[in-house]
Amino acid sequence: MRVLARLSLLLAGSTGVLAQAPPPAGFPGAPPPSPTAFIRELSAEPATTAAPGAEATLRWEASNAYSLKIEPEVGVVATRGSQRVAPLVTTTYTLTATGPGSPATRTVTVTVPGTAAATTATPAAASQPTALPRLANGKPDLSGVYSADRNVRLLGQPKLKPGSESFRVVEAEQRETGTGSDCLPPGVPAATMLPFPLQIVHTPDTFVVMYEAYHQFRIAPIGRDHAEYLDPAWMGHSVARWDGDTLVVDVRGFNDRTVIAGFRHTEDLTVTERYRRTAFNTIEYEAAVADPNVFAEPLRYAGTLTLHAEWEIGEYVCAENNQDYDELFDEN
Amino acid sequence: MQRRADDRAAANSKMSWPLRIVSLLALVLGSPANAHHSWARYDGDNVITITGNITSIEWASPHVVMHFTVPAEGAEPTPWTMEMDPPTLLNRYGLRHDTLKAGMQVKLTGVRAKSGAPMMRAVTIEVEDGTVYRVSSRV
């Protein structure tokens, strides 16, 4: 295998197809430029409606965009989709796809017979709610699909308890594999830190976090204490309480099989999370992670969760194609 | 099915102790500890661009895997493997499960296995009409 790989490397090199791109030193730290957003389609069916207030369907599809919006009326939309509109006058809809570089735009006009085009040269931005949503009990409603997208980070370096060096994960250095290599749940707060969105479902009694990553979920009753016995669990056991307008989630009852900042831990691990919706689109997230058997003081994590109301949580079944890559890497 | 299980149980009960130890070792060593992995196996200091022809796509988590060949002058095309983000993320970047198909020529930009094996992780894919797709959360 190794000889074949070397041979293929030589062959690939000899054909000249393997070219070095401009050097982005330290990639993945400094990756190559991201491809710009583009709009593949924006259409209206029918393009001319029967009468004022009659419906037409807008359809769109874009790629490489971080966010998309259609103005007027429609607002923030997903990567692809359709929406019915019912213009009273002839209206030009503008789809703006924002990504790296300049935003891409495309327009489509829905003609309403016997009416003049809407006179607004620049369509008013779709109304974005600014007030914080509230639960029936008056507390902030944290519900929504959010993305942390690597925004939640460890603050500072872990301070080890003397003598606990043996908890350091060494196989990751030896084998250069990731700790998620077995497709088992990543734990808390790791599940929030991955580049996958999560969905919060919040009622006055219950706070549920559903992670796209590894398809995990946590259910935290609000205002209840932990049960007396907690069976060791990958994602721990969660209960929540309010501290003013901040929801505090206490997580314990973990098994000892996940990894925290490069260290194994014991079943004495506890995580205290704080969720504060500071604006309609953002939750400020903090987590304090403690294991007195391993760390001299709690590890602190912080970051912003950004609302993506236009997204759905997708299906991520890690085990479906979890190959043993050793052979592909020629490292057997 | 039950009979097969019984046969296996019978076979195990007859297994000698050295064989049992070897079996146990095989079980431990054969576990997928080196499967779903980090970027650390790639040479992050060198971004490569490579053109090839898609032979198959595995549209699945934890990574969508593409098999492709790179033409080699006077020799058989070289088989390569490339991995990218999982379907849920690729979907948000605007790719569908059938955007990339066997037979398409693609230009891939990404990083190669440190070992030098014909294995890479792509960050962008350019298809024949010049469209460039993002395929990694790292860009």
Q: Identify the pLDDT of residue A128.
A: 58
Domain positions in chain B are 1-31, 39-134
CB A288 within 8 A of CB A261: no
Q: How far is A101 from chain B (nearest CA, A)?
A: 13
Tell me whether A28 touches chain B (CB under 8 Å).
yes
A150 in Cβ contact with A217 (< 8 Å): no
- Indicate the CATH number for domain A144-321: 2.40.128.20
Residue predicted with more confidence, B63 or A31: B63
Its CATH class, for the domain covering A38-110, is: mainly beta
Instruction: Report residue B18's pLDDT band, with 50, 70 and 90 as the boundaries.
Output: low
Partner-chain residue, chosen from B47, B52, B93, that has the shortest CB–CB distance to A24: B47
pLDDT exceeds 60 at position A157:
yes
Measure A272 CA to nearest chain B CA, in Å.
27
Q: Does A324 touch chain B (CB under 8 A)?
A: yes
CB contact under 8 A, A182 and B36: yes
Range in A79-93, A145-159, A224-238, A314-328 with the lowest mean pLDDT: A314-328
Looking at chain A, the whole-number percentage of residues with pLDDT higher than 70 is 83
- Considering only residues 30 to 49 of chain B, which have any Cβ-Cβ distance to chain A shorter than 8 Å? 31-41, 44-49
Work out the minimum CA distance from A178 to partner chain B, whole angstroms: 4
Neighbours of B76 (CB within 10 A): 10
Considering only residues A12 and B69, tell me which one the structure prediction assigns the higher pLDDT.
Answer: B69
The per-residue pLDDT for B44 is 80
Specify the pLDDT at position A120: 54
Predicted confidence band of residue A288 (pLDDT cuts 50, 70, 90) = very high
> Which chain A residue's Cα is nearest to B85?
A195
Task: Name the pLDDT band for A26 (thresholds 50, 70, 90).
Answer: very low
Q: How far from each other are the two terminal CA atoms of chain B, in whole angstroms?
A: 49
Is A274 a residue whose pLDDT tops 50? yes
Q: Inspect the interface and report whether the beta carbons of B113 and A6 lie closer than 8 Å.
A: no
Instruction: Phi first, then psi: give them for residue B26, nearest 5 degrees.
Output: -60, -40
Give residues 51 to 70 of B whose Cβ lies within 8 Å of A.
51-52, 58, 60-63, 65, 70
For B75, name the nearest residue in chain A, comparing CA atoms only. A11
Q: With an 8 Å Cβ cutoff, are B49 and A212 in contact?
A: no
Q: What is the ipTM of this complex?
A: 0.78
Nearest one of A326, A172, A21 to B45, comparing CA atoms: A21
Per-residue model confidence (pLDDT) at position B4: 41
pLDDT value at position A30? 60
Smallest Cβ–Cβ distance between A27 and the set B36, B47, B87 belongs to B47
Interface check for A15 against chain B (CB to CB < 8 A): the answer is yes
Domain limits of chain A?
38-110, 144-321
Measured distance CA(A111)–CA(A48) in Å, rounded: 5
pLDDT of residue A13: 32
Give percent of chain A with pLDDT exceeding 90.
63
Establish, for the pair of chains A and B, how many residue pairs have beta carbons separated by less than 8 Å. 207
Question: pLDDT: is B25 or A192 the higher one?
Answer: A192
Fold of B39-134: OB fold (Dihydrolipoamide Acetyltransferase, E2P) (2.40.50)
Measured between CB atoms, which of A17, A80, A182 is closest to B35?
Answer: A182
The model scores a pTM over 0.80: no
| pLDDT at A22 > cutoff 80 | no
A320 touches B at CB < 8 Å: yes
Of B44, B49, B73, the CB nearest to A28: B44
Shortest Cα distance, chain A CAs vs residue B10, angstroms? 30
Residue A207 has pLDDT above 90, yes or no: yes
Lowest mean pLDDT of A21-25, A157-161, A180-184, A296-300, name the range: A21-25
What's chain A's average pLDDT?
84
Say if the Cβ atoms of B117 and A175 lie within 8 Å. no
| Cβ contact B53:A312 at 8 Å | no
Lowest mean pLDDT, pick from A185-189, A230-234, A280-284, B16-20: B16-20
Stretch among A97-111, A240-254, B56-70 having the lowest mean pLDDT? A97-111
For residue A169, the model assigns a pLDDT of 79
Look at the block and give the residue holding tokens 């903090």: A286
Within the 114-173 window of chain A, which residues sit less than 8 Å (CB to CB) from chain B? 149-150, 171-172
Taking residues B97-122, what's their average pLDDT? 93
Q: Is B86 on the interface with A (CB under 8 A)?
A: yes
Helix, strand or coil, per DSSP, at residue A94: strand
Amino acid at site A318: C
Judging by beta carbons within 10 Å of its beta carbon (0-12, 13-18, 19+), is residue A23 exposed, middle or buried?
exposed
